Amino acid sequence: MTEFSLILIFLVAVAMFKGIRIVPQGEEWVVERLGKFAGVLSPGLHIINPIFSRVSYKVTTKDIILDVPEQEVITRDNAVILANAVAFIKVSNIERSVYGIENFREAMRNMVQTSLRSIIGGMDLNHALTSRDRIKAELKTAIADEALDWGLTVKSVEIQDIKPSANMQHAMEQQASAERERVAVVTRAEGEKQSLILNAEARLEAARKDAEAQMVAAKASAESIKLISEAVKENNTSATFLLGDRYIHSMEKMAESNNSKIVVVPGDLVSAVKNIVGSK
């Protein structure tokens, strides 16, 4: 074997060694021939032409986690909130992901940030803070079509955190405190109002009851007088006895009083009573 043959065999061996490519599981490699896309190497052993072909890109086929940094977003009612998200994407078309966009990771991150600002900007503060599911659904829809043009599939988008800024939190705390104070004042005023109403109703009911009692007493007195008048119409003996009995009791009380020293009693008590009654 000549020296030339040995050199040729050596060059062929080196060329074959350089042309051997072993693609690991979870990756796909893009091969270019003379600067033009030639194909994609799937996981496994491959041999390429080391002179005219080369591996230009190594792309992962596993799910990619894109962490979208926190950003300030202004809501429709001019409130400033902080929001960040995380997107889960997967390369579905190697050629598009490599040649369709300069850096698909950075492009998707910017796309998520822009879409998030647009979606939250169309909501007011309270709606934005309580509508994570809606924001997530709208965000996925907004970036899915553009991602597909870049050979990417958006598997999921999650809102990691959405909260008011520090200044907005302070303003909201002051507003909540003022609202609690207002409710307390209204509650106290309402309680005092109800108390006054109940007191007035109680006084009105008491006055009504007193009036009814006086009316009943007046009716009873009138009925009593009527009965007495009918009783003494023909014979006033009963009236004479009743008035005499009361007259005697009155005299006894006057006699028992410490301030009373002299009690004057008519000599003819029966005649005196008859004169009061008006006896014939």
Contact 41, 31 (CB under 8 A): yes
pLDDT per residue as tens digits for the range 200-221: 888 888 888 888 888 887 787 7
In Å, how far are 18, 138, 152, 155, 185 from 89, measured between CA atoms? 33, 16, 7, 5, 54
At residue 240, the pLDDT reads 60
Most confident region among 14-23, 148-157, 164-173, 210-219 by mean pLDDT: 148-157
Domain boundaries of the chain, sorted by first residue:
3-60, 64-170, 181-230, 235-280
Q: Does residue 133 or residue 15 have the better pLDDT?
A: 133
Give 33: exposed, middle or buried? Use CB within 10 Å, 0-12, 13-18, 19+: middle
Handedness of CA 211, 215, 220, 221 (dihedral sign): positive
Q: Does residue 178 or residue 172 have the better pLDDT?
A: 178
At residue 110, the pLDDT reads 92
Out of 36-40, 94-98, 224-228, 243-247, least confident range: 243-247
As a whole number, mean pLDDT of residues 246-261 equals 64
Q: Would the pLDDT of 264 be above 70?
A: no
Residue type, 123: M
Cβ contacts of 75 within 8 Å, gap of 6 or more: 81, 120, 121, 123, 124, 125, 128
As a whole number, mean pLDDT of residues 179-194 equals 83
Whole-number percent of the chain with pLDDT over 70: 73
Q: What is the pTM of this model?
A: 0.56
**Check whether domain 64-170 has CATH 3.40.190.10, yes or no:** no
* DSSP assignment letter at 45: E
Q: Would the pLDDT of 192 be above 70?
A: yes
At residue 108, the pLDDT reads 92
Tokens coding 277: 């009654």
Model confidence at 238, pLDDT cuts 50, 70, 90, reads low
Model confidence at 112, pLDDT cuts 50, 70, 90, reads very high
